[in-house]
Structure 1
Amino acid sequence: MYRFLLTPRWLAAAALTVAASVIMVFLGNWQLHRYQERSAINARIDAADSTPAVPLTAVLAKPAAAGRPGAAPGEDAAWTKVTVTGRYDPTHEIQARGRSVGGAVGFEIITPLLLPDGTAVLVDRGWVPSQDGDAISAPVAPPAPTGQITVVGQVHRSESRPAPLERRDGRIDTRRIAVPKLAAALPFPVYGAYVLVSDPEPGFTRIPIDHEDSWQNGGYAVQWWLFAVMALLAYGWQARREAQGDTPKKRVDRVAEADQRMAAVPTARQPD
């Protein structure tokens, strides 16, 4: 009854269906992996206030030379709570313009923290508004504390799409906090991610951390798996119809026969 499945046409259809289903399953598994990664990031964000901080060097690789940042951390390190001790270097302070907090536009102030071994980590000390409420007017930011200081914050991975750097208002000015781009402009080795302080100094506003949209990835995973099942069911449904004799040719013949019968029915004569 199902010997037709061994014909070249049906064998090709079976191979195509299985290949498509396997690809869909792999895509679903990849989306599940992304869901798990993003859920872990959200858990670290939520637990930051109650989780003890770990040393920065336990999370980030030490940079080797000036002008080149250390290795960028993976997503498994994003938003990990860390602590690091050093001295701020206000002469190489950075301002990231066009940053919004609570609907207002301002700047994030990033100051290098020099560690005792000569390396540095960029520390985002918080957000300040621009003087005129726009994206480029010079901000008024509290000066960096002097002397040795211990910073507690969360690891923030470098932002993508590096923007040009220029000197403005006595600081390095940029639109994006892209660590490799900034490291190339600094005279000391810089770690491959920056630290967003958990408790900013007076005069700064704490920068809110957006959660990852993990549920979207979870939904995509289920969709891909459903598509894989539907492809197999569609193949089985077509094979069953073929086995029962309901072939495409017979369906076309039935439609043609119905059309002929309709054409043979006399139409009602309209009154004069």
Structure 2
Amino acid sequence: MYRFLLTPRWLSAAALTVVAAVVMVFLGNWQLHRYHERSAINARIDAADAAAPVPLTSILATPTTSGAAGPAPGGELAWTKVTVTGRYDPAHEIQARGRTVDGEVGFEILTPLLLTDGTAVLVDRGWIPPAPGGAIAAPTVPPAPTGEVTVVGQVHRSESRATPVEHRDGRLDTRRIAVPRLAGELPYPVYGAYVLLTEQTPPVDKAFSRIPIDHEDSWQNGGYAVQWWLFAVMALFAYGWQARKEARGETDGTPPAKDRVAEADQRRSADRGDRVEEADQRQASGHGDRVEDYDRRRAAT
């Protein structure tokens, strides 16, 4: 009944089904890998929030070139809680526009913090709403504290897809916080990551809203992994189901395979019977002709 599976059409369908199932399994495994990656990031965020801060200079490589960013930290250092002391440089403050907090669009204010060794780190002091007139209307920014400032915050790696840095009314304006590009606008070496401020001495101006650290949606990747694996099982099941229907003759209205075999046997038997009957008729006819011819010859003699 399943001899048709050895035909080219069904062999091709089997190969395609297996390839598709293997690809789906690999996609599921990749989503599972992403699930573990994102879960690890969430674990780091939670652990860093509860940990005691460490000196910034103890975990980030010191930059050495003026107007350039130092080495970027690895992913394992992201969100590490750090502390650093220095003096703000409001003359080179940067406004990152189009930033959303709690569903509202506004600005994040990054101010370079100068360390005693002449290097600097960008500190994201927080979010403020735009001025009346639109989401990108330049806001009124509370001035940075003067004198020595101690900042506690979490390491934030440079954002990808850097956008141009524009000079607007004596201030620097950008869309993405890409540290290497921003460092090119500053006259001193800059650390390769910026600090997302959580605490400050003296206290942060109340006009600022703290930037929340969003957790990764790891469960979405977990769901996708299960989904791809189910698709692989469904592909194999669909092939087996279709083969079963073909064997039972349910795909095109033809009778089941066993009935088709019986019908073929009947046809072969009928054909053999017809051939035997025809041979008997020819034999009988030939014999009669010979008898009649013999009688004529005998009568003639």
With normalisation by structure 2, the TM-score equals 0.71
Alignment partners' CA distance in 2, 1:6 and 1:59: 64
In structure 1, the partner of 2:230 is: 226
CA distance in 2, matches of 1:59, 1:14: 55
Aligned pairs for 1:22-61 within 5 A: 22-57=22-57, 59-61=59-61
Partner of 2:113: 113
The alpha-carbon distance between structure 1 residues 253 and 5, as it changes in their structure 2 partners (threshold 3 A), is closer
Q: Does 1:95 align with 2:95?
A: yes
User: More deviation in 17-26 or 136-145?
Assistant: 136-145
Cα distance in 2 for residues equivalent to 1:62 and 1:11: 62
| 2:21 counterpart residue number | 21
Distance 1:232 1:173 in 2: 55
* Runs of 5+ unmatched residues, structure 1: 255-272
| Structure 1 residue 133, shift from structure 2 partner | 6.4
Shift of 1:192: 2.7
- Indicate conservation of the 8 Å contact 1:109/1:141, yes or no: no
Contact 1:37 1:76 in 2 (8 A): no
Query: How far apart are residue 6 of structure 1 and its match?
Result: 3.7
CA pair 145-22 structure 1, distance change in 2 beyond 3 A: farther
Task: Give me the whole-angstrom Cα distance separating, in 2, the residues matched to 1:238 and 1:38.
Answer: 40
User: Which residue in 1 is equivalent to 2:249?
Assistant: 246
In structure 2, how many angstroms separate the alpha carbons of the residues matched to 1:124 and 1:29? 37
Q: Secondary structure at the match of 2:13?
A: helix
2:141 is matched with: 140
Aligned to 1:211, what secondary structure does the other structure show? coil
Go from structure 1 to structure 2 and tell me whether the alpha carbon gap of 1:196 and 1:229 turns closer, same or farther (over 3 Å shift). Answer: same
Does the 8 A contact of 2:159 with 2:179 survive in 1? yes
Deviations 1:108-157 (A, max 9, x none): 2111223344433211011233443643234131323423x432211223
The residue aligned with 2:205 is 202
Q: Report the alpha carbon displacement of residue 247 of structure 1 after superposing the two structures with TM.
A: 6.5
> Which structure has the larger Rg?
2
TM-score (norm 1): 0.78
1:177-196 superposed matches below 5 A: 177-196=177-196
Distance 1:63 1:246, change over 3 A: farther
Gaps of 5+ in 2: 256-301
Structure-2 separation of matches of 1:237 and 1:64: 67
CA contact (8 A) 2:53 2:152 kept: yes
| RMSD (Å) for aligned C-alpha atoms | 2.8
**TM-superposed deviation, 1:93:** 1.5
Could you tell which deviates more after superposition, 14-23 or 130-139?
130-139
C-alpha separation in 2, matches of 1:205 and 1:72: 27
- Aligned counterpart, 2:289: none
The 3 A distance-change label for structure 1 pair 34 and 151 is: same
Question: Which whole-Å CA distance do the structure 1 matches of 2:37 and 2:6 have between them?
Answer: 44
- Give the aligned residue type for 1:232: L
